Chain A
Amino acid sequence: MTWLVWRQHRAQVAWAAGALAVFAAAIAITGVHMADLYGAAVRDDGSAGPRLLDHLFDGYGAIIDTVHLTLLLPVVLGAFVAAPLIAREADLATDALVWTQSVTRRRWLAAKLAAVVGGCVALAAGVSALVTWWSGTPNALGGDRFHGAQFDTQNLTPVAFTLFAVALGLAAGAALRRTLPAVVATVVGYVAVRMAVGIFVRPHWLAPLHRTGGAGPDARLRSGSWLVKSDLLDPSGHAVGVRLAVPRSCARVSAQAIDGCMTRAGFRTVITYHPPGHYWPMQLAESGLFVALAAGLLAFAVVRTLRAEP
């Protein structure tokens, strides 16, 4: 089986290895540069000022975009490596060819799954390690690693997402037994589940904390926190919507003084946020969810394939 697995996947291995090598080189070079820039800027903080920090990485748009694009790696692997694994054999009717050689169907499936699931997860882990290392500097600069592309491309989650996408591709291929529908189902299914979990589940992995402060801009959070939302409350404690009625006493106050005036008038800002300490529990919880989903899909794909009658 080693021969067959290598023969069928060697092109994919070559592509992945080539892309990973180029990506690693770009990450290493820019990562070191950006860390130096940031270090120098922080040392000169007194003279350079925060405005320079805002524009510190303006010349690095290409690598920043590339790093954000690793967000797509799981679904690419799921749709173009995993989904065709069974579906393509069914398209060509070659499942009837390989399943009537002397190797049992169980062994064939075990070898193919081990290679493809293992390979994709290893690739995702490698990319995630590179991105996580590289992101140390931008994370420090932005003071945040909770937001979409950061939370989803660093540490554990990208690996769990990849396992899920690959399992989804295998399940779709086993169920639909046609390559194109399996690819489409994988992409649609992956995007739908990721969006649903990101929007409806992720903010609730841990109960967010609240902090009340004066009216005006969000009270300063510790660097590395995730601000979920910020509400302005009127003196009676009701949330003020977008149509804010400025109290008469503050109507003629200058723009600089309005926050202080409103605070004195009894207005308060309540922020809902996740402190930096919530990062790892949330990474673990979300990764765990996607690993569990992947396990279910893999079991389904195995049963469907062993029962298939080509």
Chain B
Amino acid sequence: MTAADATVAIEADGLGKRYRRGWAVEDCSFRLPAGRVCGLVGANGAGKSTLIRMLAGLARPTAGRAAVDGRAPDGNDPEFLRSVGYLAQDVPLYPRWTARAHLALGAALNPAWDQDLARDRLDLLGIPLDQRVEQLSGGMRAQVALAVAIGKRPRVLLLDEPVAALDPLARREFLASLAVLMAGHDLTVLLSSHLLPDLERICDHLVVLVEGRAVLADDVDEIIRTHKLVRGPESARRALARRHRVVDDDSAGPVASAVVRLQGPEPDPACELHDLSLEDIVLAYLAGARAARTVPDLALAGAGEGR
């Protein structure tokens, strides 16, 4: 690994995966700096799982390339496997095995296994070690699976909708435990969810996936700083569109407005600028993509919602 790569934990470059029904991920490019907790958001079917499975070395890309901790994902490369932890959707475990047996599995299959770390987590969370995991609650099962993923001491942890099946309280506890874990370790986390409030709580970086493409990838602070809601006369908004990027245009609303990503200096004083929440910004990307399917030139057409 070169020094330059050391700062990039995950890199996708034109990454694509085509299935018989079409492209699940297409021309997806982004870089995730090391040490971040990155949320991966997108609508259902946007390609989040496929992207994460490619990064975990389970699915082979049809196009482009990826690197995780400086290595191309490959299920037959022991170096790659050692550096990546993966937690699949629905947290698969062997239903008849106990939590203790799953920790033993981690110990048997991973040279860098940290039994104390994995064991202490489960003890701390009060998860019974000697009960079959099929008898545990969904939240406890997720914690067992996370303990196995963590115990191998990966440098990059890929979590595919780990909280989707959990009730709100279990979700909150899981994410809180993840945040605690992050604090003590040199770890990069990529965490997908379609529940933005969950991600907002723990993520400091965000990748927005729309129809298999990364339409936004940046630190959360930077995203909030550069995205503004713009209100003002149409002429002013058109002028704005020439220098900045319009994410979503809502001229049909009661008050004409647009969400823009500022590129360079502050825009025309003829417009009012308002701060946006992270959720509003992400929703603007999702809505903007939907509108773009029917209206090619979003900024100038002045059309409202597509479809």
> Chain A residues in contact with chain B, CB under 8 A?
1-4, 7, 92-94, 96-106, 306, 309-310
Contact = CB atoms under 8 A, between A and B. Distances in A.
Given A3-B104, A96-B88, A106 B94 contact: no
Contacts of B105: 3-4, 7, 98, 101
A98 B148 CA distance: 11
24 contacts: A1-B108, A4-B105, A92-B95, A94-B92, A94-B93, A94-B94, A96-B88, A96-B92, A97-B88, A98-B105, A99-B58, A100-B56, A100-B58, A100-B84, A101-B105, A101-B109, A101-B110, A101-B152, A103-B81, A104-B76, A104-B77, A105-B75, A309-B53, A309-B60
Contact of B109 (A1, A93, A94, A310): A1
Given A99-B75, A104-B77, A309-B60, A93 B88 contact: yes
B202 interface: no
A96 B108 contact: no
Interface string B42-86: 000000000001001111100000000000000111100110111
A134 to B, nearest CB: 37
B92 A97 contact: yes
B111 interface: yes
A96 B93 CA distance: 10
A96 B111 CA distance: 19
Contacts of B104: 3, 7
A4 B112 contact: no
A8 to B, nearest CB: 8
A94 B97 CA distance: 12
A103 B92 CA distance: 18
Contacts of B108: 1-4
Nearest to B112: A102
Contacts, number: 80
A155 to B, nearest CB: 39
Given A309-B53, A309-B58, A309-B60, A104 B92 contact: no
B198 interface: no
A103 B82 CA distance: 8
Contact of B78 (A2, A92, A104, A310): A104
Contacts of A102: 78, 81-82, 109-112, 152
B297 to A, nearest CB: 38
Interface string B145-181: 1001000100000000000000000000000000000
Interface of B: 53, 56-60, 75-78, 81-82, 84-86, 88, 90, 92-95, 97, 101, 104-106, 108-112, 145, 148, 152
Contacts of B109: 1, 4, 98, 101-103
Nearest to B105: A4
A247 to B, nearest CB: 73
Q: For A1, A93, A94, A100, which residue has the most chain B Cβ atoms within 10 angstroms?
A: A100
A100 B85 contact: yes
Contacts of B92: 92-94, 96-97
Nearest to B19: A309
A100 B86 contact: yes
Contacts of A2: 108
Nearest to A104: B76
Contacts of B78: 102-104
Given A96-B58, A309-B59, 8 more contacts: A94-B93, A94-B94, A97-B93, A98-B105, A98-B109, A101-B81, A102-B110, A105-B76
Nearest to B106: A101
A2 B107 CA distance: 12
A274 to B, nearest CB: 50
B106 to A, nearest CB: 7
Which of B77, B82, B94, B152 neighbours the largest number of chain A CB atoms within 10 Å of its CB?
B94
A4 B81 CA distance: 17
B57 to A, nearest CB: 7
A96 B94 CA distance: 12
Contacts of A99: 57-58, 75
Nearest to A100: B86
Contacts of B90: 93
Nearest to B102: A97
Contacts of B81: 100-104
A306 B85 CA distance: 20
B101 to A, nearest CB: 7
B157 to A, nearest CB: 11
Nearest to A93: B92
A98 B145 CA distance: 12
Contacts of B112: 102
Nearest to B79: A102
A7 B97 CA distance: 10
A92 B85 CA distance: 19
A100 B94 contact: no
B79 to A, nearest CB: 9
Contacts of B94: 92, 94
A75 B58 CA distance: 32
Nearest to B56: A100
Contacts of B76: 104-106, 306
A304 to B, nearest CB: 14
Nearest to A6: B108
